[in-house]
Amino acid sequence: MNSPLPQKTMVITGCSSGFGRATALRMARLGWRVFATVRKEADQAALREEAARLGYQDRLLPVLCEITDAAQVAGLRDVVSGSVEGLDALMNNAGTAFAAPLELLDLDDLRQQFEINVVAHVSVTQTFLPLLRAAQGTIINISSVSGRYSAPVVGPYAASKYALEALSDALRVEVAHFGVKVVLVEPGSSSTHIWATSRQHAEKLNKYRAGPYGPLLARVEQFTNQAEKHGFAPELVAETIEQILSTARPKTRYLVPKKEGRVIFLRKFISDRQWDKQMRKVMQW
């Protein structure tokens, strides 16, 4: 009689809402054991309750972890390594968005943008690479279409995603020798809570709304509201993650949704001046 296949295990950061939560629930439903990080006890309790309601309580394990805190990341590693010898997948998903014209940008906000969206992901990746090597696992970095092209006011966020793309390109070659795969997922506008977080960060810009950047700030806020209301559902990213982890040789990049490729194609093949002209037209700026 054949012994059952070992249960596959993954770590997902940023599971309070959005892509992380949707993916954690989906992969648990598929039989994966998922260690899902959250930052607040209320979010941990809510995710644990949802897992129990669906019958996933033995597979979906919410863990309190602030990924910018090295001690907490080490604690997360201890929790995971205490029950597995190898890690099949790591999804670096946690993130935030700071928005401001560069002239008005608080430099501490810029530092925090990179600390959360870039440095913390490197820290988590370094921490789990020994376990990923042991299982010849997959690292999935959640980037953005903003990692391919930038736009006014969202420069800090786009810069962090550009950095994540560059690091992923280097890491993909560095760890291929060990059988570890690195995949970028590049979502477009989605109805996730990151937009609400971005608005909270941008409240400090209210004092500038009567100034010269006022019309531009108002226009970007309008786009943000539209993205939150009409963006694609987070489950589409979760479906993409399932596809990646069920494929022996996944692609290096996945656009979500695929139609985002049209803008990336346009950005690649028109000049900077043409792009700037179109951007100013869209922004009415």
The residues annotated as belonging to the active site are 157
CA pair distance 233, 267, nearest whole angstrom: 25
CA pair distance 187, 257, nearest whole angstrom: 7
What is the sign of the dihedral through the CA atoms of 119, 145, 148 and 238? positive
Helix (H) or strand (E) holding 63: strand 60-64
Count CA within 13 A, CB hemisphere, residue 245: 26
Query: First CA to last CA across the chain, in angstroms?
Result: 70
CB 183 within 8 A of CB 243: no
CB 37 within 8 A of CB 13: yes
Which residues are within 8 A (CB) of 170 and not within 5 positions of it... i.e. 6 or more apart? none
Tokens of 244: 């990646």
CB 89 within 8 A of CB 245: yes
Q: What is the β-pairing status of strands 138-142 and 33-38? A: unpaired
Q: Please report, to the nearest 10 degrees, the dihedral formed by the alpha carbons of residues 283, 152, 220, 95 taken in order.
A: 150
Exposure of 271 by Cβ count < 10 A (0-12 exposed, 13-18 middle, 19+ buried)? exposed
Tokens of 203: 């409240």
What is residue 116's DSSP assignment? I
User: Looking at this protein, which amino acid is placed at residue 113?
Assistant: Q
